[in-house]
Structure 1
Amino acid sequence: MSMRLFLASVALVGSAGLAAAQDHDWTGVYVGASVGVTGSESDASVRYDDPGASYSGSASAGAPHGRWENGMYVSDLAREEHYDNVRASTTYGPTYGYGGTLTSVGSLDGATLGVADPISPWINSIANGDINVVGSLRIGANYQLGPVVFGAEVDGSLMKQAVDKAFAIGEGATIDASTSQCIVGGSPCTTTYYTDYQSEYSQSGGFTFESEASNIRTARARLGLAAGPVLVYATGGVASGDIRMKTSASVSEQVDNDWSGDTGSSPTDVGSGGVTNNTSWSASDSETKYGFAVGGGASYAVTDNVILTLDGYYYDLGRHSLTAVDNHGETSYTISQDFDGYVVRSGLEYQF
Structure 2
Amino acid sequence: MKKYLLSGVAALGLLAAGAASAADLPSRKGPVVAPVYVPAFTWTGFYVGANAGYGWGNVNANGFANVGDLDGFVGGGQVGYNYQIGQFVIGAEADFQGADLSSGDNLGLLNVKTEWYGTVRARAGVAFDRFLVYATGGWAYGNVKTSFPGLFGPFALNSDRTHTGGFAVGGGVEYAFTNNLIGGVEYMYVDLGEKNIATLPGNKVGTDFSVVRARLSYKF
| Secondary structure of residue in 1 paired with 2:178 | coil
Determine if contact 2:78/2:94 at 8 Å carries over to the other structure: yes
| 2:27 corresponds to | none
Deviation of residue 339 (structure 1)? 1.2
| 1:126 corresponds to | 67
Alignment of 1:301 with 2:193, yes or no, is no
Alignment of 1:243 with 2:107, yes or no, is no
The equivalent position to 2:53 in structure 1, one of 27, 31, 36, is 36
Letter in 1 for 2:171: G
Query: For each residue in 1:205-248, what CA deviation from the matched residue of structure 2 results, as whole angstroms up to 9, or x when unmatched?
Result: xx621111121111111011111111111111111101211225
| 1:219 corresponds to | 120
Change (3 A) 1:228 1:246: same
| 2:160 corresponds to | 286
After TM superposition, the structure 1 stretch with the greater mean CA deviation from structure 2, 38-47 or 241-250, is: 38-47
Rounded to whole Å, the distance in 2 between the matches of 1:318 and 1:210 is 17
Alignment of 1:161 with 2:35, yes or no, is no
Deviation of residue 321 (structure 1)? 4.0
Rounded to whole Å, the distance in 2 between the matches of 1:247 and 1:208 is 5
Deviation of residue 284 (structure 1)? 2.5
Rounded to whole Å, the distance in 1 between the matches of 2:178 and 2:158 is 50
| 1:337 corresponds to | 205
CA RMSD of aligned residues (A): 2.7
Determine if contact 1:292/1:315 at 8 Å carries over to the other structure: yes
Letter in 2 for 1:322: I
Deviation of residue 125 (structure 1)? 2.2
Change (3 A) 1:250 1:305: closer
Instruction: List gaps (5 residues or longer) in structure 1.
Output: 1-21, 48-123, 168-206, 252-280, 326-332
TM-score normalised over the length of structure 1: 0.47
Deviation of residue 282 (structure 1)? 5.4
Determine if contact 2:61/2:204 at 8 Å carries over to the other structure: yes
Alignment of 1:230 with 2:136, yes or no, is no
Rounded to whole Å, the distance in 1 between the matches of 2:42 and 2:190 is 30
Query: Which protein has greater RCO, CA pairs closer than 8 Å, 6+ apart?
Result: 1
Letter in 2 for 1:39: W
Deviation of residue 309 (structure 1)? 1.2
Letter in 1 for 2:197: L
| 1:274 corresponds to | none
Deviation of residue 344 (structure 1)? 1.0
Letter in 2 for 1:155: D
Letter in 2 for 1:298: V
| Secondary structure of residue in 2 paired with 1:40 | strand
Percent identity of equivalent pairs: 34
Query: For each residue in 1:22-68, what CA deviation from the matched residue of structure 2 results, as whole angstroms up to 9, or x when unmatched?
Result: 95200001111111111113353535xxxxxxxxxxxxxxxxxxxxx
Change (3 A) 1:43 1:146: same
After TM superposition, the structure 1 = structure 2 runs for residues 1-352 of structure 1, keeping only pairs within 5 Å, are: 23-42=40-59, 44-46=61-63, 124-128=65-69, 130-165=70-105, 167=107, 208-247=109-148, 249=151, 283-290=157-164, 291-322=166-197, 336-352=204-220
Letter in 1 for 2:82: N
Instruction: List gaps (5 residues or longer) in structure 2.
Output: 1-38
| 1:186 corresponds to | none
